[in-house]
C-alpha cells in the first residue's frame, strides 16, 4: 500500500527552478534510495516533501491525505520526519535531553527503552552532551529523535557522510531494522553501494529531473545509466 505519493512537484528557490515535474512514491515498510550527483535536487525534494520548502505546483499525499498545503510541523505530527544532513544535535545538553525535547513534540512518543535498545551506544552515552559525541553518535541521536516521535516515514539526508565504516555498518543495520518494524525510509546518500544494498527501489535525479525509477537490481544492471548520472560514485 502506498504511504507517500507525490506528483508533478515543481520547486523554486527565488527565480531558480530546482525541481521539474517530479513524481515519487513510497510504499509501506519500504526503503527507497534517492540518488544523484551533488546539486541534483535531492535535498530540495526531501525538504519539499516534508514541508520545509514550498512546492510551487504539484500534489503530495501522505497515507491518503493531502499534505502539500500543510505546514511542516503538521506534516511532522502526522508521522513524516526529516533527518537533515546537518543533524542539528543540541551540543549543550545531553543525549537523553535531546531525546526528551523531541518527545515533547510527539502525540504518543516511543518509550526511551526502545530507543536505547535500538542504539546501545546512545544508552552508554545518554549523559554525555551533544558536543562530546562523535559524528556517528550525533547521527544516531538525529535518527533517534525521529524514531521517538513514532515516525512512519523517515527521510535520511546523507546519513553516512564523513562516518567511519563501523558507524556506517551500524546505521545500515538500524535502517533495515526500522523497515522491518514497519517504518518506511527515503535515503539520500552519496555512498551508492551502501544505498543500493539497502533499498528495494531507487530514483535517480539529474538537475531536478527524475531520470530513472526502478528496483536497485534494475539500476545496477544498467551501468551506462549509473556512469552517466552518478559518475565515479557508481
Residue range 85-123, pLDDT digits in tens: 888 899 999 999 999 999 998 888 999 999 999 999 999
State the average pLDDT for the chain: 92
Residue whose grid cell is 527524475: 210
Global pTM value: 0.90
pLDDT at residue 232 greater than cutoff 70 = no
> What is the rounded CA–CA span in Å between residue 167 and residue 171?
6
Strand ranges across the sheet with 16-27: 16-27, 2-13, 57-62, 65-66
Region of residue 88 (left: phi > 0; alpha: psi -120 to 50; beta: else):
left
Residue 10 forms beta bridges with which residues?
57
Q: What is the dihedral of CA 145, 146, 147, 151, to 10 degrees?
A: 150
Residue range 136-147, pLDDT digits in tens: 899 999 999 999
- The pLDDT confidence band at residue 175, using thresholds 50, 70 and 90, is confident
> What is the rounded CA–CA span in Å between residue 24 and residue 202?
10
Residue range 47-91, pLDDT digits in tens: 999 999 999 999 999 999 999 999 999 999 899 999 988 888 999
Between the CA of residue 111 and those of 65, 67, 103, 123, what are the distances in Å? 27, 28, 9, 13
Homologous superfamily of 2-92+154-233: P-loop containing nucleotide triphosphate hydrolases (3.40.50.300)
Amino acid at each position: 500500500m502506498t504511504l507517500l505519493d507525490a506528483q508533478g512537484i515543481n520547486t523554486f528557490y527565488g527565480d531558480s527552478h530546482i525541481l521539474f515535474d517530479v513524481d515519487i512514491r513510497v510504499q509501506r515498510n519500504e526503503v527507497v534510495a534517492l540518488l544523484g550527483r551533488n546539486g541534483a535536487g535531492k535535498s530540495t525534494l526531501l525538504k519539499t516533501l516534508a514541508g520545509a520548502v514550498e512546492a510551487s505546483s504539484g500534489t503530495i499525499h501522505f497515507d491518503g491525505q493531502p499534505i502539500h498545503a500543510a505546514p511542516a510541523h503538521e506534516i511532522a505530527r502526522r508521522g513524516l520526519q526529516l533527518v537533515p544532513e546537518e543533524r542539528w544535535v543540541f551540543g549543550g545538553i545531553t543525549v537523553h535531553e535531546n531525546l526528551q525535547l523531541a518527545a515533547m513534540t510527539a502525540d504518543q512518543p516511543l518509550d526511551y527503552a526502545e530507543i536505547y535498545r535500538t542504539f546501545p551506544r546512545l544508552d552508554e552515552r545518554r549523559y554525555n552532551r551533544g558536543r562530546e559525541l562523535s559524528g556517528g553518535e550525533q547521527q544516531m541521536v538525529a535518527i533517534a529523535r525521529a524514531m521517538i516521535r513514532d515516525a512512519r516515514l523517515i527521510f535520511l539526508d546523507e546519513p553516512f557522510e564523513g562516518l567511519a565504516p563501523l558507524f556506517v555498518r551500524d546505521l545500515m543495520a538500524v535502517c533495515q531494522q526500522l523497515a522491518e518494524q514497519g517504518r518506511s525510509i527515503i535515503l539520500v546518500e552519496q555512498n551508492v553501494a551502501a544505498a543500493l544494498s539497502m533499498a528495494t527501489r531507487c530514483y535517480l535525479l539529474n538537475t531536478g529531473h527524475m531520470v530513472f525509477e526502478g528496483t536497485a537490481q534494475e539500476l545496477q544492471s544498467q551501468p551506462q545509466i549509473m556512469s552517466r548520472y552518478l559518475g565515479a560514485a557508481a
